Amino acid sequence: MKEIVAIIRRDKLSETRMALEDAGLGEMTVHTVNGRGRQGGTLMTEIDPEVPAEFDAVSRITRYPTPAAYALSHSLTRPVFWIPKRMIQVVVPDDKASLVIRAIMSVNRSGRFGDGRIFVCPIEETVRIRTGERGEGSC
C-alpha cells in the first residue's frame, strides 16, 4: 500500500476532492497547513490577491511593494512568509497510486510556482481500530 500526501493551493481543494471521488477514491484526510517552497514564501498573489496572476514575480515585487521587497531594499532581515496551503493524505493499494497522482496533477498543475508537491510513501501495515482488521481491507 502507498500513502500519497499532496500539498496543494487552497482554492484547488474542492476540485481535487471531486477528481479523487470521480476516480473512486473518496476517503482522505485534509489538513490546513502553512509552508514555503522554492519561491521562499514570496508568492505575491497569495499575499496580495489584487496582483494579477499573469505578472511575473519581478514585476509584482517592483510594481506592488510588499514587506519582503521593502526589507530587501532597506537592508533589513527578509521576513519569512508562510503560504497557506491544504494537505491531502490518501492511503491506497499500490496499483491505484498512479491513478491518485494523475487525478491530483490534472487539477493542480498550472506550471506556476506554488502548484504544490506530491509525496508517495510506502505503508507497511494498517489496522482498523474498531474491528482490529488488518491490511488493505482496513483502509
Residues contacting 131, CB < 8 A, separation 6+: 138
Domain housing 55: 42-80
Taking 50 as the pLDDT cut, the residues of the chain under it are 43-48, 50-52, 54-62, 76-78
**One domain for residues 108 and 132:** yes
Single pTM value for the model = 0.70
| Amino acid (1-letter code) at residue 38 | R
In Å, what is the CA distance from 40 to each residue of 27, 57, 63, 78? 32, 12, 19, 10
Q: What is the CATH number for 99?
A: 3.30.70.120
**One domain for residues 8 and 24:** yes
**One domain for residues 28 and 13:** yes
**One domain for residues 60 and 76:** yes
Q: Provide the number of structural domains found in the chain.
A: 2
pLDDT per residue over 4-39, tens digit each? 999 999 999 999 999 999 999 889 999 999 887 776
